[in-house]
């Protein structure tokens, strides 16, 4: 409803429910506001936003507007109250801006001092009896500078929802506390950096900023202290005016050497975007602005794990193998050799004797060029990317049922859903920022959460129901719940009639899936399964999220299909807050497949055997294209063993340890006649290469990434490529041109122009439409309109209707037996990305998570006489690894879990070559092992400083009422007029 509010005599239109501060911020009136942050909502701790409303003093951030409200932002009483509030802030904060690393034009305390034209403090600065806390590897807390605004607490409690931070309001000297009083480095803090990002001053600072941002901040501490004393000494005489003037000049000078460049995270598929602050090649900090996906959010990797970019281990020279050893080579020599060997092998054995593997870390433009090189230059569809290892079954499940192989909505829909079901996903560690949206909705907005997982991971601990099915049985309970909904008239017949084909055939197919059958197979009680079904039926909107715990099974495609079937049966498509969300792993695994790095599809999922599609690309590329499906990653390895595949070109993919049955893969790579590996480090896979090419990471190039929610975003070049390395798109172009291609792309935007012209799904994508933080969620029509929510008007099939896909019961191919008596699950760790090639380069991460381990239950540890730190040998039918034990209550019985953060003891020495049939995605999660104790006791694999040992202190937020209840608290101006407050807001 539109309302009218009078602000300083001017009528303003507003929406009901709007906070007064948001309205005033749209007007020319300038209001101080230290604790208010639009993404945190009103936390009402600073009292600086005082205004008069209908003659009474109120906090603008804590006041909801009402029709006809009369607001005065400038009056004697208002100014006195604001001034009094800010004086109290300066009691807690020393203004030494010129020698402060936070004096970069955006310091809220500095700017408010200027705004209020403060000349002298009425309440003097008072020290607090606390030391600076430097115990976290990435940031430090200075209690002396902390103004107790509580932004950090709100961010930690209710945005990140790690619930580490609080303020001890009742203490004579309140401060921010970690786990109620622990050192940061010994607390539950996961180093996501939310708190540092929102801190309005220098109390919380990234360590990479300290001593680097200012012109004088690197001076020795005693000199700095002396300068601070001088400032304190002159302030009574000169007032703050000249001091602020000087620091403003110094802040302006910093602009000349600090660059802020927008990029998109290189790690997981959530797609967080942020500014990277740099000084020369030094990364000062990562600062999320208002990214379309993440707002102020990051996880430890996006915020702090960038040391790899400037690592001395980076490859900077092409390497050529000669007489079994690598020697350095020039770019020309290496590229000429590649072109010559590709040509020879093609002439001798045909184009299908070569294969190409694109990288999910590379840009869309690079993936596109790689498949174009394979198809248009070499003439083979032997082209794939690592979605083969993870998400291909999810795509098949969606292709079968709803048509598009992507998330059916946005992360905002997941946050909005009344019920979220997470299956086989350790979301809080693998997709951390996305998980925060679920944690927040569950904590604050009554969202219900069901988690199905073998482990009691963080999301399972938070869930209303944690299902712990027997391994590889999600398919069974999903089908049983769908059948139960139909049998009990809890489904949505009107939706099915209008929008879905195949109901009768589907009903027949799920007949075997009774509740009793499901209970027997999964070990979940009938009662619990019924409860799940009723929760789905009762929830107005349901989203299902899943990841590799589902897809990496021999029935991965079917289980993904079962989820989509369940969503159709329960009417959970076509509306905000509903739908299917396969959580894509790598930053650009979605984009790699979208842009044609697949053996069966040209860009935009257009089949290679469709003559019309081929004709369009043949005309665009001026070549004849191969028409039969090529080899996928899995088939490539078999084809090498069979002697059919002679050469591979692999970009940014640690293929030798991330593919399953690593020993078999290594044996294959050894047999290749000619292997090119392109990477930024000398990876394990490089050991099998004939030529190694040094590439550039995302910070050194331009392009686009597509995140899990089909969101295409631009990344801008932060640094020049490290001397000797080159961006992948330039390397691919150079190889193609040496093979006669005559490609001429001066910039990645030209590549995208070609993609858009040839691919209907991306017809309206242009770099201009993606400028800065703008983004588009495919499909994008020529006029630039995109689809945050898919299927608003129809499903992606010719008749516009979805399909219920019939399914049958399936069992894992590899079961435990007497010899291999333990089930081994695996997945990611929060701190590391996959095997850790990038993240181990960050010292703070290496120190806190130095190695992989195997989680075992206390019960099993007792039986096998091992404890945390004991070395054991895990032996499967395919290989063995030596690894340390971590006794954990996250796993039970004979189920083990091993994170994948190791190249030396990779989980894939143990996994098999069994696959999901439609996709050939390896069944990584169907692994049985035996465990032999090595009678060798080491340290716990998780150092004491790891956040998992911490003890969070959940609370509702800042809990400002506790501050107001202090006997010494008096609202500013409250001697004169009455203070009003509204319920503490939660920011949305």
Closer residue to ligand FES in complex, CB, 628/978: 978
Q: Taking Cα atoms as reference points, which of 585, 264, 593, 589 lies closest to residue 431?
A: 585
Nearest distance from residue 777's CB to ligand SF4, in Å? Answer: 16
Closest residue by Cα to residue 173 from 192, 146, 206: 146
CA distance 320 to 329: 6
Q: Which does 49 bind (CB under 5 to 8 A by kind): ligand SF4, ligand FES, none?
A: ligand FES
Least distance between ligand FES and beta carbon 302 (Å): 28
Which residue's Cβ has the minimum distance to ligand SF4? 302
- In this complex, which beta carbon is closest to ligand FES, that of residue 106 or of residue 627? 106
47 binds, options ligand SF4, ligand FES, none, Cβ within 5 to 8 A by partner type: ligand FES
| Residue 199 binds which of ligand FES, ligand SF4, none (CB < 5-8 A, kind-dependent) | ligand SF4
CB of residue 149 to ligand FES, shortest distance in Å: 7
Burial (Cβ within 10 Å: 0-12, 13-18, ≥19) of residue 487: middle
CB of 34 to ligand SF4, least distance (A): 9
Residues ≥6 apart with Cβ < 8 Å to 9: none
Residue 156 contacts which entry, ligand FES, ligand SF4, none (Cβ below 5-8 A, type-dependent): ligand SF4
Asked whether position 61 contacts ligand FES by CB under 6 A, the answer is yes
Quick one: which of 146, 243, 376, 524 contacts ligand SF4 (CB under 6 A)?
A: 146
Map tokens 């309140």 to a residue.
174
Binding partner of residue 569 among ligand FES, ligand SF4, none, CB cut-off 5 to 8 Å per kind: none
Contact call for residue 432 and ligand SF4 (CB under 6 A) = yes
Q: Mark the segment that binds ligand SF4 (CB under 6 A) among 75-83, 140-148, 930-938, 959-967.
A: 140-148
| Nearest alpha-carbon partner for 582 in 812, 790, 362 | 790
Residue 958 in the binding site for ligand FES (CB under 6 A): no
Residue 58 within binding range of ligand FES, rule CB under 6 A: no
Q: Least distance from C-beta 462 to ligand SF4, angstroms? A: 15
SS3 content of the chain, % helix, strand, coil (to 5): 35, 20, 45
Q: Is residue 788 at the binding interface for ligand SF4, with CB under 6 A as the rule? A: no
Q: Tell me the window of 197-205, 340-348, 558-566, 662-670 that interacts with ligand SF4 (CB under 6 A).
A: 197-205
Q: What would the x/- binding string for ligand FES be over residues 7 to 46, using CB under 6 A? A: --------------------------xxxx-------xxx
Q: Which does 109 bind (CB under 5 to 8 A by kind): ligand SF4, ligand FES, none?
A: none
Q: How far is CA 193 from CA 36, 136, 204, 588, in A?
A: 18, 11, 10, 23
In this chain, which of 5, 85, 100, 201 binds ligand SF4, going by CB under 6 A?
Answer: 201
**Between residues 301 and 710, which has the closer beta carbon with respect to ligand SF4?**
301
Q: Beta strands 674-679 and 383-384: pairing type?
A: unpaired
Read off φ and ψ for residue 871, nearest 5 degrees: -85, 135
Which of ligand FES, ligand SF4, none lies near 929, with the C-beta cut-off 5 to 8 A by kind? none
Q: Which residues pair with 56 in a beta bridge?
A: 53
Nearer to ligand SF4, 267 or 681 (CB): 267
Stretch that binds ligand SF4, among 224-232, 293-301, 338-346, 460-468 (CB under 6 A): 293-301
Q: Is 566 helix (H, G, I), strand (E, B) or coil?
A: helix
Q: What token pair was written down for 69? A: 């409200």
Residue 158 Cβ vs ligand FES, minimum distance, rounded to whole Å = 16
- Is 709 within 8 Å of 777 (Cβ atoms)? yes
Segment 567 to 586, residues that bind ligand SF4, using CB under 6 A: none
Stretch that binds ligand SF4, among 183-191, 404-412, 453-461, 529-537 (CB under 6 A): 183-191
**Does an H or E element contain 51, and which?**
strand 50-53
Q: Which of 155, 386, 518, 668 binds ligand SF4 (CB under 6 A)?
A: 155
CA distance 833 to 844: 14
699 binds, among ligand FES, ligand SF4, none (CB under 5 to 8 A by kind): none
Quick one: which of 49, 53, 152, 354 contacts ligand SF4 (CB under 6 A)? 152
Asked if residue 78 binds ligand FES (CB under 6 A), the reply is no
Which of the choices ligand SF4, ligand FES, none does residue 535 contact, using the CB cut-off of 5 to 8 A by kind?
A: none
Interface with ligand FES, residue 147, by CB under 6 A: no
What residues contact residue 530 under an 8 Å CB cut-off, 6+ apart?
A: 484, 515
- Minimum CB–partner distance for residue 800 and ligand SF4 (Å): 34
For 199, 247, 715, the CA distances from 294, given in Å and listed in that order, are 17, 32, 15
**b/e string for 576-596 if b means 16 or more Cβ within 10 A?**
ebbbbbbbbbbbbbbbbbbbb
Q: In 40-54, which positions are buried (b, 16+ CB within 10 angstroms) versus exposed (e)?
A: bbbbbbbbbbbbbbe
Bin 927: left if φ > 0, else alpha if -120 < ψ < 50, else beta: beta
- 160 near ligand SF4, judged by CB under 6 A: yes
| Contact indicator for 680, 725 with CB cutoff of 8 Å | yes
Helix crossing, 108-115 with 76-91: angle to 10°?
140
Q: Report residue 545 as tokens.
A: 């999220």
Per CB under 6 A, 203 contacts ligand SF4: yes
Residues 246-285 that bind ligand SF4 (CB under 6 A): 265, 267-268, 270-272
Q: CB of 233 within 8 A of CB of 226?
A: no
Classify the C-alpha dihedral 63-65-69-72 as positive or negative.
Answer: positive
Which among ligand SF4, ligand FES, none contacts residue 915 (Cβ within 5 to 8 A by kind)? none
Q: According to CB under 6 A, which one of 176, 319, 478, 761 is a site residue for ligand SF4? A: 176
Task: Return the number of the residue (108 or 722) whose C-beta is nearest ligand FES.
Answer: 108
Return the SS3 of 470. coil
Using alpha carbons only, give the angle 143, 146, 150 rounded to the nearest 5 degrees.
120
Using CB under 6 A, which of 59, 83, 88, 194 touches ligand SF4?
194
Closest approach, Cβ 371 to ligand FES, in A, equals 52
State the DSSP code for 224.
H
**455: Cα separation from own chain's centroid:** 21
Whether 596 and 367 have beta carbons less than 8 Å apart is answered as yes
SS3 at position 703? strand
Residue 156 binding ligand SF4, by CB under 6 A: yes
CA angle 791-767-370, nearest 5°? 85
Q: Which does 424 bind (CB under 5 to 8 A by kind): ligand SF4, ligand FES, none?
A: none
Please state, in angstroms and rounded to a whole number, the distance separating the CA atoms of residues 4 and 1: 10
Binding residues among 296-335 for ligand SF4 as defined by CB under 6 A:
298-299, 301-302
Q: Is 893 left (phi over 0), alpha (psi -120 to 50) or beta?
A: left
Largest CA distance in the chain: 93
- When the beta carbons of 44 and 561 are compared against ligand FES, the nearer one is 44
User: Residue 709: how many CA atoms within 13 Å on its side-chain side?
Assistant: 26
Window of 199-207, 381-389, 420-428, 910-918 that interacts with ligand SF4 by CB under 6 A:
199-207
**Shortest gap between Cβ of 751 and ligand SF4 (angstroms)?**
23
* CA-based radius of gyration for the chain: 29
From the list ligand SF4, ligand FES, none, pick the one residue 44 interacts with, judged by a Cβ distance below 5 to 8 Å according to partner type: ligand FES
Q: CB-side exposure of 856: number of CA atoms within 13 Å?
A: 31
Residues that bind ligand SF4 (CB under 6 A): 146-152, 155-156, 160, 162, 164-165, 176, 189-195, 199, 201, 203-204, 265, 267-268, 270-272, 294, 298-299, 301-302, 432-433
The residue ranges that bind ligand FES (CB under 6 A) are 33-36, 44-49, 59, 61
């Amino acid at each position: 409803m539109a309302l009218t509010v009078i602000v300083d005599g001017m009528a303003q239109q507003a929406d009901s429910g709007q906070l007064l501060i948001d309205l005033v911020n749209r007007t020319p009136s300038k209001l101080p506001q230290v604790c208010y942050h639009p993404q945190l909502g009103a936390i009402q701790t600073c009292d600086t936003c005082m205004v008069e409303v209908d003659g009474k003093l109120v906090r603008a951030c804590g006041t909801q507007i009402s029709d006809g409200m009369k607001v005065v932002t400038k009056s004697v009483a208002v100014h006195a109250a604001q001034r009094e509030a800010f004086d109290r802030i300066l009691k807690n904060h020393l203004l030494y801006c010129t020698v402060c690393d936070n004096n970069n034009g955006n310091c809220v305390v500095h700017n408010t001092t200027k705004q209020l034209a403060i000349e002298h403090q009425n309440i003097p600065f008072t020290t607090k009896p606390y030391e600076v806390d430097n115990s976290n590897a990435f940031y430090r807390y200075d209690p002396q500078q902390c103004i107790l605004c509580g932004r950090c607490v709100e961010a930690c409690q209710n945005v990140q929802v790690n619930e580490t931070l609080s303020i001890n309001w009742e203490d004579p000297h309140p401060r921010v506390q970690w786990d109620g009083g622990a050192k940061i480095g010994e607390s539950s803090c996961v180093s996501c950096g939310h708190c540092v990002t929102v801190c309005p001053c220098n109390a919380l600072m990234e360590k990479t900023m300290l001593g680097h941002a200012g012109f004088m901040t690197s001076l020795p501490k005693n000199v700095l202290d002396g300068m601070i004393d001088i400032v304190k000494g002159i302030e009574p005489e000169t007032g703050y005016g000249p001091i602020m003037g000087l620091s403003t000049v110094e802040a302006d000078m910093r602009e000349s050497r600090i660059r802020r460049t927008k990029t998109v995270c290189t790690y997981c598929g959530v797609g967080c975007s942020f500014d990277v602050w740099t000084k020369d090649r030094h990364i000062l900090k990562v600062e999320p602005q208002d990214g379309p996906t993440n707002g102020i959010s990051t996880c430890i990797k996006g915020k702090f794990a960038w040391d790899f970019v400037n690592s001395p281990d980076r490859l900077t020279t092409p390497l050529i193998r000669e007489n079994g050893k690598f020697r350095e080579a020039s770019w020309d020599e290496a590229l000429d050799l590649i072109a010559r060997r590709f040509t020879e092998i093609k002439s001798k054995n045909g184009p299908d004797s070569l294969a190409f593997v694109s990288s999910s870390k590379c840009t869309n433009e690079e993936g596109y060029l790689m498949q174009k090189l394979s198809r248009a230059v070499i003439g083979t569809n032997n082209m794939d990317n690592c979605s083969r290892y993870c998400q291909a079954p999810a795509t098949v499940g969606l292709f079968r049922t709803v048509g598009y192989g992507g998330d059916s909505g946005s992360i905002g829909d997941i946050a909005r859903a009344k019920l979220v079901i997470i299956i086989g996903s350790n979301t809080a560690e693998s997709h951390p920022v996305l998980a925060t949206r679920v944690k927040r909705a569950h904590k604050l907005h009554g969202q219900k959460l069901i988690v199905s997982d073998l482990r009691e991971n963080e999301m399972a601990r938070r869930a209303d129901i944690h299902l712990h099915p027997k391994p590889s049985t999600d398919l069974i309970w999903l089908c049983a719940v769908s059948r139960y909904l139909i049998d009990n008239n809890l489904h949505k017949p009107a939706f099915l009639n209008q929008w879905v084909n195949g109901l009768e055939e589907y009903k027949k197919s799920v007949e075997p899936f009774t509740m009793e059958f499901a209970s027997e197979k999964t070990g979940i009680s009938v009662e619990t399964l019924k409860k799940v079904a009723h929760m789905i039926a009762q929830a107005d909107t349901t989203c299902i999220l899943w990841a590799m715990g589902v897809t990496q099974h021999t029935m991965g495609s079917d289980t993904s299909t079962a989820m989509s079937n369940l969503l159709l049966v329960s009417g959970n498509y076509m509306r905000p807050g509903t739908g299917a969300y396969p959580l894509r792993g790598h930053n650009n695994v979605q984009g790699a497949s979208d842009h044609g790095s697949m053996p069966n599809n040209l860009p935009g999922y257009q089949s290679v055997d469709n003559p019309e599609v081929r004709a369009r690309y043949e005309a665009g590329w001026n070549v004849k294209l191969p028409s039969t499906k090529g080899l996928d990653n899995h088939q490539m390895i078999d084809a090498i063993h069979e002697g059919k595949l002679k050469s591979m070109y692999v970009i940014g993919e640690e293929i030798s340890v991330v593919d399953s049955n690593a020993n078999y893969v290594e044996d294959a790579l050894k047999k290749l006649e000619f292997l090119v590996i392109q990477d930024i480090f000398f990876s394990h896979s490089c050991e099998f290469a004939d030529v190694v090419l040094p590439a550039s990471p995302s910070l050194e190039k331009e392009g686009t990434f597509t995140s899990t929610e089909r969101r295409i975003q631009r990344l801008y070049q932060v640094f020049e490529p490290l001397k000797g390395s080159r961006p992948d798109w330039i390397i691919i172009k150079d190889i193609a041109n040496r093979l006669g291609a005559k490609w001429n792309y001066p910039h990645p935007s030209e590549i995208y122009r070609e993609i858009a012209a040839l691919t209907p799904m991306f017809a309206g994508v242009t770099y201009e439409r993606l400028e800065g933080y703008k983004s588009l969620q495919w499909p994008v029509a020529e006029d630039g309109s995109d689809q945050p929510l898919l299927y608003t008007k129809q499903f992606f099939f010719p008749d516009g209707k979805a399909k219920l896909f019939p399914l049958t019961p399936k069992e894992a191919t590899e079961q435990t037996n007497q010899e291999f008596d333990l089930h081994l699950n695996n997945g990611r760790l929060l701190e590391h990305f996959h095997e850790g090639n990038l993240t181990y380069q960050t010292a703070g991460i290496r120190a806190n998570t130095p190695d992989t381990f195997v989680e075992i239950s206390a019960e099993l540890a007792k039986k096998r006489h091992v404890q945390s730190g004991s070395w054991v040998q895990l032996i499967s039918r395919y290989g063995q690894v030596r690894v340390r034990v971590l006794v954990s209550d996250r796993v039970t019985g004979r189920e083990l879990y091993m994170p994948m953060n190791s190249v030396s003891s990779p989980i894939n020495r143990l996994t098999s070559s069994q696959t999901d049939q439609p996709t050939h995605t390896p069944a990584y999660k169907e692994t049985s092992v035996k465990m032999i104790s090595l009678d060798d006791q080491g340290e716990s694999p998780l150092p004491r400083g790891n956040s998992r040992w911490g003890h969070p202190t959940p609370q509702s937020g800042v809990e400002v009422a506790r501050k107001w209840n202090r006997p010494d608290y008096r609202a500013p101006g409250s001697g004169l007029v009455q203070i009003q407050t509204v319920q503490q807001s939660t920011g949305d």
